[in-house]
C-alpha cells in the first residue's frame, strides 16, 4: 500500500460517514446541531522553506485556521520563530514517522539506536507509510513521538493539537494507542474520527472526553489540476453539519519545492501551489460565506478537554 493510500483509504471511509452519525462535538462547543464548523488545516510545516512561507501567508490571511508542524524536519527553527512571534496562531504537531521524498530526507529526533525499528538502511525514517506501519515497534514509536513533543516544547512551541503525518499513527490499534496516550499525557486534542466498520479495538485507547471530529476531507489522487477549484468548492457546498477538517498542503512551487518533491507527482510542489491558490481565492472565500461555514480552530476544541 503506498505512502498516502493508507491515510487516504481511512479518510475516504471517513468522508463517507452517513449524515447524522455525528459526534456531538458541535453541541459541546455551544453551537446549534446544524452548524457547519470547519477547521481548514495546513499540513507539513517545517518540511521546506517554500512550505513554511506559503503556510504562514495563508495563516496570516485567515485562509486556513490551523496548521501542524513536522518536528524532525530541517526548517523547524524557522517555524518555532514564527510560533513564538504569533502566539495566537493555531499550530499543532504533525507527528512524523516517515520521510517520503527522494532527494531530501530526515531522521528521527530520538537517538537512532533507541528507535531502530523506525529507520531505513540509511538511518532515515521510512519513506512509505505502509512499510513504516509494518516495521515500527509501538514502544519505539512512542519514544520518538514523545521526543518530538518534548523538542517542540523546548523550542518554545505551544502546540494546540496533535495529528499524524501520512496517517501512520492511524494505521493500527497499537499505534493509535501510542498517539492517544501521548495526547492524553500532554492534555492535547488530536485528530480522530470514529468510522463505522472500523474494528472497535482501533479506538480502545480513547477516552469519553476525547474530541472526535465528524468528517475529514483531503484532496487525493487522481484529482486533475483543472478540477482543483471545483473539488474544493464542492466540499464547501455540500459540507455536512458538525465539526469537519479540510486538510490542505500549501507551498510555493519554486526550485526548492520542485526539488524536494521530484519524481513524486502526488502532493508535489505544483499540487501544493494549486492548494494555496484555491484556499486564497475569492471563489473559495465566497463559497465559505454562501454556505454559512464557520471556521474554527483546534485551540477551541482543546477547551473541551478536562482541565489537567
Contact footprint for a copy of itself (CB under 8 A): 48-50, 53, 74-78, 81, 102-107, 109-114, 121-123, 151, 154-155, 252, 254-256, 259-260
Q: Which of 104, 136, 106, 98 minimizes the C-alpha distance to 7?
A: 98
Grid coordinates in use for 241? Answer: 453539519
Q: Give least dist CB 112 to a copy of itself, A.
A: 4
By the 8 A CB rule, do 42 and 248 touch? yes
- CB nearer to a copy of itself: give 158 or 237: 158
CB of 78 to a copy of itself, least distance (A): 4
Specify the residue, 141 or 176, whose C-beta has the smaller distance to a copy of itself. 141
Minimum CB distance to a copy of itself smaller for 166 or for 257: 257
CB 113 to a copy of itself: min, Å: 4
| 292 close to 36: Cβ distance less than 8 angstroms | yes
CA 4 to chain centroid, in Å, comes to 12
Rg (CA), the chain: 18
User: Whole-angstrom Cα distance, residue 138 to residue 147?
Assistant: 14
Which one, 107 or 173, has the nearer CB to a copy of itself? 107
Report in angstroms the alpha-carbon separations of 3 from 14, 128, 135, 223, 247: 18, 4, 14, 17, 16
Least gap, CB of 155 to a copy of itself (angstroms) = 6
Nearest-10 crossing angle of helices 49-61, 76-85: 20
Q: Which is nearer to a copy of itself, 144 or 214 (CB)?
A: 144
**Residue 263 beta carbon to a copy of itself: minimum distance, rounded to whole angstroms:** 10
Minimum CB separation of residue 52 from a copy of itself in Å reads 8
Q: Which is nearer to a copy of itself, 123 or 196 (CB)?
A: 123
| 122: number of Cβ within 10 Å | 8
* Length of the chain (residues): 308
Amino acid at each position: 500500500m503506498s505512502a498516502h493510500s493508507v491515510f487516504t483509504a481511512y479518510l475516504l471511509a471517513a468522508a463517507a460517514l452517513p449524515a447524522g452519525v455525528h459526534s456531538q462535538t458541535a453541541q459541546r462547543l455551544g453551537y446549534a446541531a446544524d452548524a457547519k464548523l470547519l477547521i481548514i488545516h495546513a499540513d507539513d510545516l517545517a518540511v521546506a522553506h517554500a512550505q513554511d512561507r506559503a503556510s504562514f501567508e495563508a495563516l496570516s490571511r485567515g485562509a486556513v485556521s490551523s496548521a501542524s508542524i513536522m518536528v524532525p524536519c530541517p526548517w523547524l527553527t524557522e517555524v518555532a520563530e514564527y510560533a513564538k512571534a504569533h502566539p495566537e496562531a493555531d499550530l499543532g504537531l504533525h507527528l512524523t514517522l516517515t520521510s517520503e521524498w527522494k532527494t531530501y530526507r530526515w531522521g528521527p529526533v530520538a537517538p537512532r539506536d533507541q528507535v531502530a525499528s523506525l529507520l531505513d538502511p540509511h538511518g532515515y525514517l521510512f519513506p512509505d507509510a505502509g512499510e513504516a506501519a509494518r516495521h515500527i515497534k509501538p514502544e519505539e514509536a512512542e519514544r520518538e513521538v514523545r521526543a518530538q513533543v518534548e523538542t517542540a516544547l523546548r523550542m518554545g512551541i505551544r502546540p494546540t493539537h496533535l495529528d499524524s503525518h501520512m496517517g501512520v499513527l492511524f494505521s493500527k490499534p497499537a499505534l493509535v494507542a501510542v498517539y492517544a496516550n501521548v495526547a492524553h499525557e500532554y492534555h492535547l486534542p488530536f485528530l480522530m474520527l470514529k468510522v463505522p466498520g472500523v474494528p472497535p479495538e482501533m479506538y480502545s485507547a480513547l477516552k469519553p472526553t476525547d474530541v472526535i471530529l465528524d468528517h475529514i476531507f483531503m484532496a487525493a489522487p487522481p484529482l486533475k489540476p483543472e478540477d482543483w477549484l471545483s473539488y474544493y468548492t464542492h466540499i464547501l457546498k455540500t459540507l455536512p453539519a458538525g465539526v469537519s477538517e479540510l486538510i490542505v498542503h500549501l507551498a510555493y512551487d519554486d526550485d526548492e519545492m520542485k526539488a524536494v518533491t521530484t519524481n513524486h507527482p502526488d502532493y508535489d510542489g505544483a499540487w501544493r501551489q494549486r492548494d494555496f491558490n484555491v484556499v486564497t481565492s475569492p471563489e473559495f472565500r465566497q463559497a465559505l460565506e454562501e454556505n454559512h461555514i464557520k471556521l474554527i480552530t483546534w485551540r477551541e476544541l482543546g477547551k473541551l478537554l478536562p482541565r489537567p
